[in-house]
């Protein structure tokens, strides 16, 4: 008995093991979700419910499948009495129930492949169980494959049979997946238009990369119709954005180029053909004469207008359409006649201007809208802002969409319009967006655009792509525009710090945005400074063990040190980059005037590191203004008598020797 108990104890997982397992499970779920989701338009406030976001057509359809095996209810044998259904005669109801069950079985038996589906469902119910060993599941998958082999093409359009095949694709090995992919060859165009089998096609495209090219080839000459099809559209969108490589995407783009381009550019699979196809429309037009170029561009334009004129079909949100539109704009920019360029660009802009908000979430779509912004007239830019305004908060939280906002800030000369339509829409929801990296960048761009402290080189390079055109289409000096934008944004951001600065500064990303606002915003910062100083001048250490003092939060302590030194430290020059909009010595004086003596001493005697170095920086800020800050220096030095001096010397805090050195200089 003792041995059994010990065995049970040893077999029970520890808390650490349980946590690790739960963490791994959560990671796997997250990875699967990220893998299957394509970028969502900012105009959609809720996630799009599609099969690509879940396991199959859905576990929701289990009830539909199960109901096929259940007898029908005899409604005639029931009568309504108040709110309760009472059978007239139990025996009559039972006989009617049996009769309906027999009729139901007869109807099922009369359907094609009824026996096959019955056998398949029996094995499928075993194979799809969640908690079974892998070897046992593979055995069931093999049995299920034996049942449906050779009949997949005939049964796959049924919603229950489609889920059976999906289970094989999901849990089976590559051999079973390839076998099913080959068996369905020639039928993919029909399958992708079915409400249920479209999910099977999506899985095969994702999990059978060797078969993906010829699956996509089956859609050729029908791409436009399928993009405008309610069921097929999502499969093509997932294929292009999530699964296909550069060469495979050409199968989904080719129909847009027109029949002539397809005939003259038939891909035979050679390396030269593939390289040309990867270039897209530019590869099609390479070496073409003027007549053929014009006919190809006309075909692309006609196909794009077909999509934009049917915006209710949803194809306008897909990356494949955005890629074609961007290729078209690049192609017309190569035309020598500028008047013809403007005419063609105007035609496509007029047709899609109301749908621009549906495009900004993809890389190509974002670049398209930015191109319209940078090349458009003042009236066009105003119209674009009008379309985007209801979605600005969600655009701030999207990597690609926010680049459109930054370009608008870079090119629009009417800064008053920007203040009303764009800047206020970014600053008002600051509480909702600052914790996200995208939202943080949106706030920073108002004050310090394209700073390499917070923007990646790739983002800056992308924004710089429009600078050459901006120099021709925008009249205002970029520096003057940036100053005006900073001025318009400063008041709202400083008010935000005044109201929420103590809370925001305790967050890692919040401390960064507070630093940028205090350093670069223009205007009266007295109230905002008071909020930050009062947050620092609370009892140390914190009275609440669950809430650390700001000094003990490394990021918040770093924020205070940056503000005290007057700017960010530049590693290249080994000096501090000061700014004209911030006075570090006044901030130091505010701390001396507000923070009680016992808290200042506790910071450098009871803390291990942050408080000591914060006081070192405070001393340095006061020493820079020897004549003006004499009273504050004497006050701070007076805090440290012989007892306090000895407490600092014998304390555990790092930097204590440096602090004593700075105190001696006061």
Q: Which residues, other chains included, contact 58 with Cβ-Cβ below 8 Å and sequence gap of 6+?
A: 51
Q: Is the pLDDT of residue 436 over 50?
A: yes
pLDDT tier for residue 116 given thresholds of 50, 70 and 90: confident
Percent of residues, the chain, with pLDDT higher than 70? 83
pLDDT of residue 526: 95
Element (H, E) at 205: helix 197-207
Strand partners of residue 376: none
Q: Is the pLDDT of residue 90 over 80?
A: no
The overall average pLDDT reported for the chain is 84
What's the rounded Cα separation, in Å, for the pair 489 and 487? 6
Top-confidence residue, 74 or 115: 115
pLDDT tier for residue 647 given thresholds of 50, 70 and 90: confident
- Helical segments of 309-436, H only: 319-332, 338-352, 363-375, 378-388, 392-395, 401-411, 415-418, 424-427, 430-433
Instruction: Give mean pLDDT, residues 324-337.
Output: 94
pLDDT of residue 347: 94
Structural contact between residues 260 and 269, judged by C-beta atoms closer than 8 angstroms: no
pLDDT of residue 426: 97
HSE (side-chain half, CA atoms, 13 Å) at 277: 23
Structural contact between residues 231 and 265, judged by C-beta atoms closer than 8 angstroms: no
pLDDT tier for residue 5 given thresholds of 50, 70 and 90: very low
Strands 575-578 and 78-81, by their bridges, are: unpaired
Which range, of 104-108, 198-202, 326-330, averages the lowest pLDDT?
104-108
Structural contact between residues 202 and 241, judged by C-beta atoms closer than 8 angstroms: no
pLDDT of residue 27: 41
pLDDT tier for residue 58 given thresholds of 50, 70 and 90: very low
Checking phi first, is residue 186 left (phi over 0); if not, alpha (psi -120 to 50) or beta? left
pLDDT of residue 264: 66
Instruction: Give mean pLDDT, residues 568-592.
Output: 92
- Helical segments of 474-583, H only: 478-504, 508-520, 526-536, 554-565
pLDDT tens-digit map of 504-562 = 999 999 999 999 999 999 999 999 999 999 999 999 888 887 889 999 999 999 999 99
pLDDT tier for residue 350 given thresholds of 50, 70 and 90: very high
Q: Is the pLDDT of residue 267 over 90?
A: no
Q: What angle do CA 88, 89, 91 make, to 5 degrees?
A: 155
What's the rounded Cα separation, in Å, for the pair 564 and 16? 43
pLDDT tens-digit map of 133-185 = 999 999 999 999 999 998 898 888 888 888 999 999 999 999 999 999 999 99
pLDDT tier for residue 608 given thresholds of 50, 70 and 90: low
What's the rounded Cα separation, in Å, for the pair 513 and 510? 5
pLDDT of residue 112: 61
pLDDT tier for residue 93 given thresholds of 50, 70 and 90: confident
Nearest to 648 by CA among 592, 601, 580, 578: 601
Top-confidence residue, 407 or 639: 407
Q: Is the pLDDT of residue 95 over 90?
A: no
What's the rounded Cα separation, in Å, for the pair 357 and 45? 13
Instruction: Give mean pLDDT, residues 374-386.
Output: 95
Instruction: Give mean pLDDT, residues 642-661.
Output: 81
What's the rounded Cα separation, in Å, for the pair 552 and 99? 78
pLDDT tier for residue 234 given thresholds of 50, 70 and 90: very high
What's the rounded Cα separation, in Å, for the pair 404 and 543? 46
Q: Which two tokens stand for residue 662?
A: 């700075």
């Amino acid at each position: 008995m003792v041995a059994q108990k010990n065995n049970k104890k040893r077999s029970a997982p520890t808390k650490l093991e349980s946590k690790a397992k739960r963490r791994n499970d959560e990671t796997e779920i997250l990875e699967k979700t990220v893998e299957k989701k394509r970028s969502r338009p900012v105009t959609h406030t809720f996630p799009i419910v599609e099969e690509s976001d879940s396991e199959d057509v859905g576990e929701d359809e289990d009830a539909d499948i199960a109901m096929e095996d259940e007898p029908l209810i005899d409604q005639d044998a029931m009568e309504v009495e108040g709110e309760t259904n009472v059978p007239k005669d139990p025996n009559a109801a039972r006989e009617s129930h049996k009769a309906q069950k027999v009729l139901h079985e007869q109807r099922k038996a009369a359907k094609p492949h009824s026996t096959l589906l019955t056998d398949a469902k029996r094995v499928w119910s075993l194979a799809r169980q969640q908690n079974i060993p892998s070897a046992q599941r593979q055995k069931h998958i093999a049995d299920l494959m034996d049942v449906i082999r050779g009949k997949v093409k005939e049964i796959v359009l049924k919603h229950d049979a489609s889920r059976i095949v999906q289970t094989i694709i999901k849990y089976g090995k590559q051999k079973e997946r390839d076998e099913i992919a080959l068996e369905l060859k020639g039928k993919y165009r029909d399958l992708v238009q079915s409400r249920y089998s479209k999910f099977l096609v999506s899985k095969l495209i994702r999990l059978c990369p060797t078969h993906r090219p010829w699956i996509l080839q089956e859609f050729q000459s029908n791409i436009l119709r399928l993009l405008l099809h309610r069921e097929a559209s999502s499969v093509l969108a997932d294929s292009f954005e999530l699964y296909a490589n550069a060469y495979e995407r050409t199968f989904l783009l080719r129909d847009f180029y027109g029949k002539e381009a397809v005939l003259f550019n038939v891909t035979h699979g050679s390396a030269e053909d593939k390289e040309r196809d990867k270039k897209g429309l530019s590869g099609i037009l390479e070496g073409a004469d003027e007549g053929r170029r014009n006919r190809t561009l006309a075909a692309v334009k006609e196909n794009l207008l077909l999509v934009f004129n049917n915006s209710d079909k949803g194809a306008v949100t897909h990356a494949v359409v955005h890629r074609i539109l961007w290729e078209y704009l690049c192609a017309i920019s190569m035309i020598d006649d500028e008047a013809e360029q403007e005419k063609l660009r105007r035609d496509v802009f007029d047709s899609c201007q109301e749908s621009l908000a549906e495009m900004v979430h993809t890389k190509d779509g974002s670049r398209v809208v930015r191109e319209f912004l940078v090349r458009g007239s003042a009236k066009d830019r105003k119209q674009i802002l009008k379309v985007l305004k209801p979605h600005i908060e969600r655009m701030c939280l999207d990597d690609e969409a926010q680049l459109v906002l930054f370009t608008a800030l870079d090119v629009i000369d009417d800064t008053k319009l920007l203040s009303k339509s764009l800047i206020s829409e970014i600053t008002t929801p600051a509480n909702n967006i600052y914790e996200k990296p995208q939202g943080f960048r949106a706030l920073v761009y108002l004050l310090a655009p394209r700073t390499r402290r917070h923007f990646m080189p790739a983002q800056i390079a992308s924004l710089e792509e429009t600078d050459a055109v901006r120099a021709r289409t925008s009249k205002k000096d970029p520096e003057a525009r940036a100053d005006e934008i900073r001025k318009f944004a400063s008041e709202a951001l400083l008010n935000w710090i005044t109201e929420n600065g103590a809370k925001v500064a305790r967050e890692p990303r919040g401390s960064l945005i507070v630093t940028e606002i205090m350093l670069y915003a223009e205007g009266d910062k007295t109230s905002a400074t008071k909020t930050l100083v009062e947050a620092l001048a609370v009892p140390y250490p914190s009275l609440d063990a669950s809430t650390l003092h700001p000094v003990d939060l490394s990021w918040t302590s770093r924020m205070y040190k940056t503000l005290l030194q007057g700017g960010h430290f530049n590693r290249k020059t080994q000096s501090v980059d000061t700014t004209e909009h911030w006075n570090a010595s006044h901030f130091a004086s505010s701390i001396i005037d507000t923070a009680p003596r016992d808290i200042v001493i506790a910071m450098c005697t009871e803390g291990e590191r942050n408080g000591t170095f914060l006081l070192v920086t405070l001393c340095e800020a006061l020493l820079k203004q020897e004549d003006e800050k004499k009273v504050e220096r004497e006050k701070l030095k007076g805090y440290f008598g012989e007892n306090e001096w000895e407490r600092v010397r014998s304390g555990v805090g790092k930097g204590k020797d440096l602090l004593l050195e700075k105190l001696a200089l006061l």
